[in-house]
Every structure is written in structure tokens, then in C-alpha cells.
Amino acid sequence: MAKNLLIVESPSKAKTLKKYLGKDYDVKSSVGHIRDLPPKNLGIDIENNFEPTYQTIRGKGKIIKKLKSAAQKSQRIYLGTDPDREGEAIAWHIAQILNGKNAKEINRVLFHEITKSGVKNGLANPHSIDDNLVNAQQARRILDRIVGYQVSPFLWKTLYRGLSAGRVQSVALRIIVEREREIEAFVPDEYWSLHAHLEGKNSGAFVADLHKVDGDNPEIGSEESVNEIISTLNERDFVVDSIKKKTVSRKPYPPYTTSTLQQDAAYKLGFSPKKTMSLAQRLYEGVDVGGETVGLITYMRTDSTRLANEALAGSRDAVKRWAGDKYLPKSPRKYASKKSQVQDAHEAIRPTQWNLPPAKVKGQLPRDHFKLYTLIWYRLLGSQMSTAKYARTTIDISAGDEYKFRCSGSILKFDGYLKAYKQMPNGYGEDKDSEVPENIEEDEVLSLKELQPEQHFTKPPAHYNESSLIKELDNQGIGRPSTYSQIITTLYDREYVKRDGKHLLPTELGFTVNDVLVKHFPKIFNTRFTAQMEDELDKIEEGKDQWVDVVQDFYKPFKKSLDAVQSKSKDIKKSLQEDTGEKCEKCGREMVIKWGRNGKFLACSGFPECKNTKPLEEIDGPEETDEKCEKCGSTMVIKSGRYGRFMACSNYPDCKNTKPIPLGMKCPEDGGEIVERQSRKGKIFYGCSNYPDCKFAVWDKPVDHGCPNCEAEFLVQKNTKSKGEFLKCVNCKAEMSMDILEERASEGSE
């Protein structure tokens, strides 16, 4: 019988720890939380200091029974759940269910890395459960429950049942919606730049840009203005004012925090926050390397850029072995944290095994695990490497007293930390060399070859993507990095936001829900207020505030806002309806547009006396096609439903025949029709009409044009920021210009 019982929350973590600890330890898993607030009611006694009612999570009864049985057989009990608020709360709940009449001493232990030394250090330093951490988690859970359970029903009354609001989720939605409205309202301004093509007596041709006009930045708003300047400059001498050369140093970024890891993984690897955290969890808990289960990174939920002394020594040694002494600074790099002391409790995300660089584990890790590990490894190594050195030259040129031109460029002289960044998947966007002319002297008169004006237009703010949204949430202090994954997932699941490529776009439902919440709860769903609440939760964790006081301070203004809108819910619902001017064919009253579970629809304004409803398309009539219904012979029309566009019989409701929209191309796998479909999250894709028997599917729209390089019968149309629109073969991967479609069209017209 094992003398010690160690309980963790994850089965894979338990498996790794068991291999390290041997027969003296029985390692069990709680499989996450074992108790929570009840799923079907508020579970909080608001009148009694917000006392929560916890109950066993459905399906966890057998696990609790096993934990109690193992505890009775052990002399000592250790709780090794994750070292954060959530982990502390899980440990507290486990301790609660184990504390019976003959309760044994329960010790809390922390594993910041699942390695032999990390586990040994954790078990050697047991302590009691941190009540401040538990209270901070409990306060967050109660706040989120109050908002979710009391605001969501308001949305049900004003829109339709099944919608949800969240204390942080709804603020994230507000950020996305407000950015989209900025983009929609943006009016571009015209401006011009001016480039002078010059040549020196002993140098080749080069380009200098108009830099100053009368000492100020140039503001050229029209072609007429730039032509006037060109006319003046054509009569001027271009004289070299100064040539300045200096060495510019660039320092590396700090090691990863949870937020910066999610941002980089989204930007560089295309991983969703949810996927990144799942992969990181596995790398932390242990993966099979050479037949041994090894925890490859430290705990992945952290706001800190701090490294322990042992980590600094290990990383410097790894840099020296890999890159050599010249890449190693004289002393370790230490990064100041902008976060509170509480948020700085853990180290940054870093490797734990300095003898296992990516090259050694390649082929042993699954592909995506390897990519993320490589990212973490070289970001950490780079953080402890020498600065990169650039030789920067700036040449200032006068064309009279008022016009100043500048030519500048940098050449990389020593790559320093960039040597590590170049090993990361997809590179790291490092600067390319930009040379300037040599053999030019001060006061030299240059030859003007050409003045080239260039028209520009100001651009709207960029759409948020997952990476930039996480960065914005982190910068504003909204939520915590450990919650970002769930926030974004919830926005997708509720169909408030959809992905268009990498862009996050609010749906019509997302716009509507946001407008209702912001209008009627302006102080609650506010970025500054939400960030202040995060600060309050940190103070609870630090022991500076009582959790009941923090929740009470939140609840008072919240309840006031809630009471004010509850009585107006019918009026608010009515204000969201849209008039159509169309008469109900059953009672003669006006038909209005309402919201329902499947989107907008037409309904009689006389409801509930008249319950006439019909699809929204019937206002203008559905789009007709050339196809006939194979069941009744009527014309097939295109309609829109909850899962996107589809073809339906125009003789509905007498004939209810429907089918996906065909593209007029055959499936390359079984000869079925390629049809347009929509995923559960609203993204359009194209698949075989014989699904599920045929699983063929592509995200990019197929084009009816055979590949000129192989036997493929169609190409797909792609659009990227770097290449614009182009065609690609899914078979041989060849890429080609869109021009081949125009060529075929012109051939057909001939």
C-alpha cells in the first residue's frame, strides 16, 4: 500500500507524475473540478453575503468515491493541482470532500514544471491551501454567474431565448463591434508622397523621399499640389546636407507569457487560442520522448516574464552550446514585469529540458506540438542572446531652404538574437537590409533624374483577428490570458462573431446583442469598469480586499441597472422590431421583422392574436434559379437559413424539397456534385453532395478550370494579403494568375 496520496486534476499529469514518484505514491486525478455552482439556478444567496451553494458536478460521484477510498488508505495526502486560482479552487474543493470525521492532514504542493527536480522541489515544500487565491477564484465565479444568469434572461425577453451575456465576453464583443463600426464609418483621405531619383558623381542611382517642407512633415493632399512642388523642384539643385552613420542595437523580446504565446501562435502558426492552450497543457504535463514521459515546458498560465536563476543559467549554457560565446551577453538578461506581484508569481513560459532542443525531439512529437515547442524554445533562447547590430546611414538632402529629402538604410552587421528567431516556424519578420549609396560627400550637388509622385489613401483600422484581439484585451487589462481562449470560443459558439479568413467579424446578431447591452448596461459592459474589476480580483488574491466587499461593490450598480431595464423589456423588444409596410394576408395588420432562434423572420404585429410568420426573403422574393424541383417540377429558389444559403422549392409549403447549392462541378473523388455548405460556426466551405458517404471538402471556392500542370479538373480561388487573388491546384499545389480565367472567357466569346 502506498504511504502517500497525490491528487492532481489531469489524468495525463497524473500519469507523468506516477512515473517520477514510484510505488510510495498513489497518484489520482480529479479530472478537473469536482464541485461547482448548480447548472440550473443562480446558486448564490445574494441576501446572505453572496454565499455560494456548491454541488457535485454530474458524473463526478464515482471519482469522489475513489478519491475518498484512496485517502483512507494513505498516511499523507498532497494536492498538486495547477499553481493558479483555478487550481487552488480545485484543491480547496477536494480538501472539503476529504475532510470527514477522521480527516488526515492535507498538504498543498505546487509543480511549476513537471520534471524530476520540479516535482521533488514541490513535494519538499508543502503548505496549506491559499485562502486568498480561493477567494479570488470564488469572487470571479460569482461575478460571472450573477451577470450570466441575470442579464441573459433579459436578452431572452428582448430578442429570443438561448442568448447569453458574460461579464468579460460581452466586453470583448463590444471591442470587436466598435472596431467594425470604425471601419464602416471610415472615409479615406488622399495624400501624396514624393520620391526623388538622384545620382552622385561617384555613386549609382538611388532614391530619396521628401522628408520636410519648411521644417514640418509634408502634407500633400492632391495631385495638383504635388505637381506644383515638382514644378518648383525641377528648378532646384539637390545638395547633400549631411551624412550620418551610427550603429543601432535591437534587443530581443522577453520570454513568453500566456498572452504573448497565444498572440504569436495565432499570428505565426494559425493556431486558435484554444488549440494553443491545449497543446501547451500537454507539453507541460508530459509527452513521450524516447520512451520516457517528459514535461517539456513550465506552467503555461502566467503573466510573468521572470526567469528563475536556474533557468537563466540553463538557458545561457544552451545558447553557448548552440551559438557560441559571441552570442552570449556578459550577464543574464532580466525583464521587468509590468504586472502586479501576484501576477508575477510564476516564471515565464520556458523549456524545462535544456538537453532537448527541437532538433532532438523532431519526429518524436506530433507536428503541432513540435511547432509550438520550437516557438517557445527559440523565443526563450533569443531572450538570453546578444543584441542585433545594424549599421544605419542617413543622408539628408536639401532642395532649396524649404524642401528636405532623406535617404536612409540599415545593414545587419551582427544577427545576435535574430539567429534564434530565424529558427522559429515561418521566420519572425526580421528586417531586411536596405542599403544606401556610398561614395557620396557632404555639400555634393546631385543629379536629378526623376521626381516620382505617388498617390496614397489613408486606411481604416484593421479588423481584429484572434492575435490582435488577445493583445487588445491584455493591453486593456480585460479578463486574464488564461480565459482568452474560452472568451473567443464562446463568441463563436453563440454566433456573435464569425471568422472571415483570419478576420473576426461581428454577425448581425452580434451587433444587435452588443447594442442592447451597451445601451441598457453602459457602466457594466464597459472596458474601463471591467479592467477595474480585474484589479479588484488581484487585490483579493493579495489579501488586500475581502471578496464579499468586492462582489457587493459590483452588485449595487449592477442591480440598479437591471431593475431599471426589467420593466422596459417589452418596450425594448418592440423597439428592435423593423417595420416592413407589408400587410398580413391573414388579418390585415402590418408584418414586422423580428428576431428568432434562426435569425430574423417576418411576423404579424398582431401577435399573439395572429401568429402568422414567414421567412424574411419573402419581402423581396427569393432568388430564382434555372433548376426545376425533381419532386414537383416547380422552380427552385435560393433561400437563407440558420446554416447558410440553400436551394428550396418555390412551391413551399406544399413541396418542402431542399438541397445544397451546386457549383456545376463534379467531385473528384466519387463524381457527385460539388455544393456550397456552411460550417457550424458560419464559415462557407465546399463539399460533395454525397456527404457523408464522400468526405471531400475544401475551404476555398472551386473554379471550373482544369489545372494546366496536372490532371485536376478544377482549381480553387484564394486571396492572401501578400499575393492578392490567385488560383491554386489542390492536387499539384501549383499557383497561377487569375488571368487564365479571362483568357478562357475571351476564347469563348470568339
pLDDT on residue 746: 42
> How many residues would you count in the chain?
750
The pLDDT confidence band at residue 720, using thresholds 50, 70 and 90, is: confident
Distance CA 596, CA 591 (A): 15
> For the segment 33-65, what is each residue's pLDDT rounded down to a tens digit?
999 999 889 999 999 999 999 999 999 999 999
- What top-level class would CATH report for the domain 258-386? mainly alpha
Give 195's strand partners.
209, 452
Answer whether 179's CB lies under 8 Å from 209's CB. Answer: no
How do 635-641 and 684-688 pair as beta strands? unpaired
pLDDT band of residue 692 (cuts 50, 70, 90) is confident
C-alpha cell at 342: 501576484
Task: Provide mean pLDDT across the span 466-488.
Answer: 92
- pLDDT for the residue 338: 61
According to the CATH classification, is domain 4-129 in 3.40.50.140? yes
Q: What is the pLDDT of residue 742?
A: 55
Mean pLDDT of 611-622: 73
Q: Is the pLDDT of residue 743 over 80?
A: no
Asked if the domains at 152-186+463-535+546-570 and 190-250+389-416+431-457 fall in one CATH topology, the answer is no
Q: Which residue has the cell 468515491?
A: 65
Does 729 score more than 50 pLDDT? Answer: yes
Res 745: pLDDT: 42
Residues with catalytic roles: 299
Q: Check: CATH 3.90.1580.10 for 152-186+463-535+546-570? A: no
Sign of CA dihedral 487, 491, 493, 499: negative
Classified as helix, coil or strand, 338 is: coil
* Rounded Cα distance, 298 and 373, in Å: 11
Q: Look at residue 466 and tell me whether its pLDDT is greater than 70.
A: yes
Tell me what pLDDT residue 417 has. 96
Dump pLDDT digits (tens) for 141-192. Answer: 999 999 999 999 999 999 988 899 999 999 999 999 999 999 999 999 999 9
425/243: higher pLDDT = 243
Residue 603 has pLDDT above 50, yes or no: yes
pLDDT, tens digit (0-9, with 9 covering 90-100), for 564-593 = 898 888 889 888 888 888 899 899 999 999
- The pLDDT score that the predictor gives to residue 364 is 94
Task: State the Rg of the chain over Cα.
Answer: 32
pLDDT greater at residue 702 or residue 742: 702
Q: What angle do CA 678, 683, 689 make, to 5 degrees?
A: 30
* Per-domain residue ranges of the chain: 4-129, 152-186+463-535+546-570, 190-250+389-416+431-457, 258-386, 577-619
Tell me which CATH homologous superfamily contains domain 190-250+389-416+431-457: Topoisomerase I, domain 3 (2.70.20.10)
Q: How far apart are CA 639 and CA 629, in angstroms?
A: 14
Grid coordinates belonging to 337: 514585469
How far is the C-alpha of 746 from the C-alpha of 22, rounded, in Å?
Answer: 76
User: What pTM did the predictor assign?
Assistant: 0.79
In sequence order, what DSSP letters do the residues of 573-631 get, joined into one string? HHHT-EEEEEEPTTT-PEEEEEEETTEEEEEETTTTT---EEEGGGGT-PEEEEEE-TT
Q: Point out the least confidently predicted range of 116-130, 313-327, 457-471, 654-668.
A: 654-668
- Alpha carbon distance 669, 689 (integer Å): 11
